[in-house]
Amino acid sequence: FSRAVGLLGGQPGGQLAGQPGGQLARAWASRASWFRGPICHPGRVLESARTAIEIMDAAGLGWPEQRAELLAAWAWAEAVAGNTEICDQLLGQVQAVLGGETGGDLVTHGVGHARAFSLIRRGRFADSYAPQIAAGEAAGRAGRPDLSYGSWCNAACAAACAGDFARALEFVDRGMAALAGSGLAALELQYQAARAHVLVRMGRLADARAAAEAERELAD
């Protein structure tokens, strides 16, 4: 990535070096996206989203939809591994950037996913269901089952933390349905592991064993 940034005329820290900044901003926005899916690295998401926004500001680029996506990604990084108060402030900026509009499905996903984690960090597990459901459904509409995985799997985790294992199983099954036909076997494997875990907690040991066997077959 550092080599790519150099070829675009900027330094890894975001200096423009006389370039308009559009391609450079898009490069950093792409990097933020890479680390927000199954390759989950909140620190790099935060760095990348913040740098992209700084470049856009320096270049005078409005780009409300892209800016809203980046703010939501930054908010998610704060919710997961940073400051939940900053997360809430950034989500407020998303609304200001969009001028009251909802934005596209990727914005809806990013906002819901970040808000859900902010609630989870506060121990409000049941309250996190609704924004996480909205995020998972939006990712599905956007054709991004890789992103929907984070929503449905973490919704299941929150439900398990709340002791609501029937709801956790529902979220796992919705996530598996969202993956159907995608070829993302590595994520389906994770869902089978989650399904086995929840079924054990529910005392459904035969079903849990079947899920574990399905997981093993996928791994093989």
DSSP character at residue 9: T
SS3 labels along 166-179: HHHHHHHHHHHHHH
**Planar angle of CA 28, 39, 124, nearest 5 degrees:** 100
Residue 220: partners with Cβ closer than 8 Å, 6 or more residues away? none
Query: Is residue 20's pLDDT more than 80?
Result: no
1 membership: H or E segment, kind and range? none
Q: What helix, strand, coil percent values describe the chain, rounded to 5?
A: 75, 0, 25
pTM of the model as a whole: 0.90
Each residue's pLDDT tens digit, 83-116: 999 999 999 999 999 987 888 999 999 999 999 9
Q: What percent of the chain has pLDDT over 70?
A: 95
Between residues 20 and 63, which one has the greater pLDDT?
Answer: 63
Res. 9 pLDDT band, cuts 50 70 90: confident
Q: What percent of the chain has pLDDT over 90?
A: 81
Between residues 177 and 10, which one has the greater pLDDT?
Answer: 177
**Neighbour count for residue 129 (Cβ, 10 Å):** 19
Question: What does the block give as tokens for 77?
Answer: 């990084």
Cα→Cα distances 112→58, 118, 152, Å? 28, 10, 12
pLDDT at 10: 61
pLDDT at 191: 97
pLDDT at 116: 98
Query: Is residue 40's pLDDT more than 80?
Result: yes
Query: Is residue 13's pLDDT more than 50?
Result: no
pLDDT at 132: 98
Residue 125: partners with Cβ closer than 8 Å, 6 or more residues away? 119, 158, 159, 161, 162
32: amino acid identity, one letter: A
In our burial notation (b when 16+ CB lie closer than 10 A, e otherwise), range 138-167 reads bbbebebbbbbbbbbbbbbbbbbebebbeb
Question: For the chain, what is the mean pLDDT?
Answer: 92
In angstroms, the CA 220 to CA 142 distance is 30
pLDDT at 16: 42
Q: What is the mean pLDDT of residues 138-164?
A: 95
Res. 15 pLDDT band, cuts 50 70 90: very low
In angstroms, the CA 152 to CA 56 distance is 32
